[in-house]
Amino acid sequence: MPKLVQPRSPAEWAILCVLIGALLHLILGFLTGFSVDEAHYALYADHLSWSYFDHPPLVGWIQWPLIQLGFSEGFVRVIPELLWIISCYLIYQITIGLYSLFPELDNTSPLVARPSADFCGLLAVICLVVSPLPHVLAIGLLPDSLLTPLSLSLMLLSIKWITVGKFTFFEWILVGLLLGLAGLSKYTALFSAIALFLVLTSRPMKDWIGKSSFWLAVLIALVLISPVLYWNWANSWISFKYQIAHGEGGHWALRRVAAFLGIQFIAFGPLLFLGFFKFCKPHLRSANFKPLTLLSFFLIPFTIFAILSGGGGLPHWTTPAWYCLAPFAGIGLGNCWSNSIHGPAPTTSRFFIRLLIYFQAILCSVGFFLVIVGGVSSALIKSNPIADLYGWNTAGQKAAQLVKIHNADGIAVQNWTLASRIAWYARPIPVYVLDQRTDQFDLWFGSQPLGGNAILIHWSEMPYNPPILASTKPTSSHNQSLTGFEACRRLENEDLVVRRFGQKLSTFGFSLCRNWVGESQK
């Protein structure tokens, strides 16, 4: 690299790391179709509403202009890319602000030098750039993609509160806007609001409670989330009921918690864990309590999700929490790095940090490569998870054509995860989910009409037996109505084999199913 463009400062190195990550995201964003969650939230924008069954509406609202203008998936993915870049910038700034709140505790040796704030900021950014799972949310727009920069912004304002002890009028307005937008992003924004409250109450003086600017901030937040409240009120609070049941999960088991922690270690990388440990080792002995309240932006959501994981959960739910932990990890790694350079005896700390950075960067690169080539098929691997990213565009369009050819009422699938991409790529053909679970698709398309016909989609990676009435068995001894089609005929000539670089990934099959019999409503 020429000297004129070679980075000379930690800030320049951080920018370079983020730009490299952004370039890889954009390449993948234009090479692959929507994932199951991306398509689901893109449908939010296609069916604009005050709120939705499973999440608040901002993830749909923010895509709406691009969706209405007909932009491709790659251009829609510029939104999460920008959110990722903003989040990395906020992490860098938070680390610098956090650095000033924790003076060096171990200064007994003149050979130990404290790392610079900029260098700690660089390490904090690197922690996220080489973490595998955050790249998924940087490519695909999920509610967590929105909640992450909003939580980080609240954390940055919290540092100002701890440093100065007050907010200006306009900063209170900003707090209200951030809380409201966070509430429009995801219901777990409540955890960030609780963390902010703990920071506010960390000072002995609570005079802010009686100030009009504080209550104006509360009012702004409530006004912003009022569409969610109104929609739920008009729909019997189904979203809140679903989230409570979803959070409780199934039967609680300790082994699920252990599995959750193991997956978190892999998904976010050991570098964050090491940095957090290196931060806690000296700083938790400090009597400086107020700055430590900032850890609640990580500890509250992570602890709650870890406990709930005993009943089930998804690994990406903790993403905003890990972003909020990155500044602490950056300082911890910076201290470890500095001590390894200036310590009285040679240590392996600096080498080990570099090794972890390289290892995680290689791991991320391998993941990018596997997505591009379509994964690897092997007898040792039960199924190829990358197969889930290819073929849905063609399958959805073919299903829409078959609906018109056979004069069917719509497309039918047997699991909601099969519905989102088919519904996106077959727009505006209705897609019916043939299960007993109420979901967003029931609100959009209703249930399969009684006596109606449908094109049933089969996917080799998630096989189901056709729901034919003769083979449907009651689930209890009660007189429960049976549901199913009278008959289904496989359209074998229409099978779609999905290949990537000559490798077979999956197969889509289509059946013409006639005369839906049974209960029409779930």
- Both 392 and 369 in a single domain? no
Tell which of 340, 373, 406 closes a domain.
Answer: 373
Beta carbons within 8 Å of 130's beta carbon, 6+ residues apart = 269, 271, 357, 360, 361, 363, 364
Note the pLDDT of residue 347.
64
For residue 185, what are its two tokens?
Answer: 């992003």
Q: Give the CA distances from residue 427 to residues 46, 141, 399, 445, 453, in Å, rounded to whole numbers and listed in that order.
A: 9, 20, 10, 12, 18
Q: Which residues of the chain have pLDDT under 70?
A: 1-7, 103-113, 247-250, 284-288, 339-347, 378-381, 470-481, 519-522
Distance CA 496, CA 510 (A): 9
Residue 295 included in any domain: yes
- Both 347 and 479 in a single domain? no
Angle in degrees, 0-180, between the axes of helices 319-342 and 117-129, rounded to the nearest 10 = 130
Tell which of 373, 399, 430 closes a domain.
Answer: 373
The DSSP result for 100-166, as a single string, is TTS--S--S-TT--PPPHHHHHHHHHHHHHT-HHHHHHHHS--HHHHHHHHHHHHHHHHHHHHHHS-
Map residue 453 onto helix, strand or coil: coil
Residue 154 included in any domain: yes
Note the pLDDT of residue 101.
86
Residue 522 included in any domain: no
Q: Rounded to two decimals, what is the model's pTM? A: 0.91
The label of the residue with tokens 């391998």 reads: 366
The label of the residue with tokens 């409570």 reads: 244
- Both 340 and 257 in a single domain? yes
Residue 5 included in any domain: no
**Digit-coded pLDDT (tens) for 244-298:** 877 666 678 889 899 999 999 999 999 999 999 999 877 766 656 777 889 999 9
Note the pLDDT of residue 285.
65
What phi and psi values does residue 368 have, to the nearest 5 degrees?
-60, -45
- Both 307 and 361 in a single domain? yes
- Both 85 and 18 in a single domain? yes
Residue 2 included in any domain: no
With beta carbons less than 8 A apart as the criterion, state whether 486 and 515 touch. yes
Q: Give the CA distances from residue 203 to residues 206, 256, 297, in Å, rounded to whole numbers and listed in that order.
A: 7, 38, 17
- Both 193 and 342 in a single domain? yes
Residue 235 included in any domain: yes
Residue 52 included in any domain: yes
Residue 381 included in any domain: no
CB atoms within 10 A of CB 412: 29
Note the pLDDT of residue 4.
44
465: alpha, beta or left? (left if phi > 0; alpha if psi -120 to 50) = beta
Tell which of 373, 395, 415 closes a domain.
Answer: 373
Beta carbons within 8 Å of 466's beta carbon, 6+ residues apart = 456, 485, 488, 511, 513
- Both 286 and 139 in a single domain? yes
Distance CA 233, CA 238 (A): 9
CB atoms within 10 A of CB 135: 21
- Both 183 and 262 in a single domain? yes
- Both 200 and 302 in a single domain? yes
Note the pLDDT of residue 288.
65
- Number of domains making up the chain: 2
- Both 111 and 233 in a single domain? yes
Q: Is the previous residue joined to 428 through a cis bond, with omega within 30 degrees of 0?
A: yes
51-60 burial, b for 16+ CB within 10 Å, e for fewer?
bbbbbbbbbb
With beta carbons less than 8 A apart as the criterion, state whether 105 and 291 touch. no
Map residue 71 onto helix, strand or coil: coil
DSSP 410: E
- Both 343 and 401 in a single domain? no
- Both 368 and 395 in a single domain? no
What phi and psi values does residue 209 have, to the nearest 5 degrees?
-65, -30
Range(s) of the domain holding residue 203 = 10-373
Angle at CA of residue 398, ends 393 and 402, nearest 5°? 150
